[in-house]
Structure 1
Amino acid sequence: MDLGLLRPLYKTTAPVASVSLDTTLAVENAPREIKLRWRGLRERLAGEGADEATLQALDDAVGGAPGVPGPQGEALFASEGRILAAYTLSRPPLRDRASWLPVVDPLDLVADRNRQLPYVVVAADREGADVDAYSADRHDPVSKRSFSGSTLHIQKVRVGGWSHKHYQRRSEELWDDNAAGVAQDVEAAVADVGAELVFVGGDERAIGKLRDHLGKSVLDIVVELPTGGRSDHAALTSLRESVDRALEVAVAQSHAQVLTRFTSDLKRGGAVEGVSMTAEALRRSQVETLLLTTGRNDEPRVWASPTDPLEVSSERHRLTDPDSAFAGPASALLLRAAVLSDAGFAELPDASRAAEGTGAVLRFTVAD
Structure 2
Amino acid sequence: MRLEFLTPLYERPGPWASVHLDTDWGDRDTPARRELQAREVCRALAEKGADQQTGHAVYEALTAFGGRPGEAGRAVYATGGEVVLDPPLTHRPAAPMDVTWAALPHVAPLLDLAAQEPVCLVVYVDRTGADLELRTPLGAADAGSVVGKHWPLHRTASADWSERHHRQRVENTWEQNAQEIAEAVTGNQEEYGADLIVLAGDPYERRAVHERLPAALQPYVVETEHGGRAEGAGSRLLDADVERARQEHLSRRAEEELDRFRAAPEATAEGVPALVEAAREHRIEELFIRPEGADAQRRVWVGEAPDQLAMRRTDARYLGARDPDPARADDALLRSAAVTGAEALRVPAREPADASPAGGLGALLRRPAHAA
Tell me the TM-score range normalised by the shorter chain: 0.7 to 0.9
| Number of residue pairs aligned between Structure 1 and Structure 2 | 360
2:311 to 292, 310, 314: 314
Q: Structure 1 pair 294/151, CA: closer, same or farther in 2 (3 Å)? A: same
SS at match of 1:104: coil
Deviation at 1:43, TM superposition (A): 1.1
Identity among equivalent positions (%) equals 27
Q: Where do 1:12-27 residues align within 5 Å?
A: 12-26=12-26
Counterpart CA distance in 1 for 2:93 and 2:267 is: 32
Give the match for residue 300 of structure 2.
Answer: 302
Computed over aligned residues only, the root mean square deviation of the Cα atoms, in angstroms, reads 2.8
Deviation at 1:91, TM superposition (A): 0.2
Residue 291 of structure 2 is aligned to residue 290 of structure 1: no
Q: Runs of 5+ in structure 2 lacking a partner?
A: none
Counterpart CA distance in 2 for 1:29 and 1:76 is: 18
Does structure 1 retain, via aligned residues, the 8 Å contact 2:299–2:326?
yes
Deviation at 1:22, TM superposition (A): 1.0
Give the match for residue 8 of structure 1.
Answer: 8
Show CA shifts across 1:81-126 (max 9, x none).
Answer: 3321211111012222222233322111233346422231112111
Show CA shifts across 1:253-283 (max 9, x none).
Answer: 1111222222333xx3322222222212211
Does structure 1 retain, via aligned residues, the 8 Å contact 2:178–2:212?
yes
Counterpart CA distance in 2 for 1:258 and 1:212 is: 28
Q: Runs of 5+ in structure 1 lacking a partner?
A: none
- Name the amino acid aligned to 1:198: I
Q: Structure 1 pair 65/248, CA: closer, same or farther in 2 (3 Å)? A: farther
Give the match for residue 91 of structure 2.
Answer: 91
SS at match of 2:253: helix
Counterpart CA distance in 1 for 2:360 and 2:133 is: 37
Q: Structure 1 pair 54/124, CA: closer, same or farther in 2 (3 Å)? A: same
SS at match of 1:294: coil
Counterpart CA distance in 2 for 1:39 and 1:248 is: 35
Give the match for residue 73 of structure 2.
Answer: 73
SS at match of 2:266: coil
Give the match for residue 260 of structure 1.
Answer: 259
SS at match of 2:297: coil
Please identify runs of 4+ aligned residues in structure 1 that moved more than 4 A.
29-35, 63-67
- Name the amino acid aligned to 1:356: G
- Name the amino acid aligned to 2:366: R
- Name the amino acid aligned to 2:185: V
- Name the amino acid aligned to 2:276: A
Residue 297 of structure 2 is aligned to residue 272 of structure 1: no
Counterpart CA distance in 2 for 1:14 and 1:67 is: 28
Scaled by the length of structure 1, what TM-score is found?
A: 0.86
Q: Structure 1 pair 25/155, CA: closer, same or farther in 2 (3 Å)? A: farther
SS at match of 1:182: helix
Residue 142 of structure 2 is aligned to residue 105 of structure 1: no
Counterpart CA distance in 2 for 1:293 and 1:324 is: 29
Deviation at 1:244, TM superposition (A): 1.0
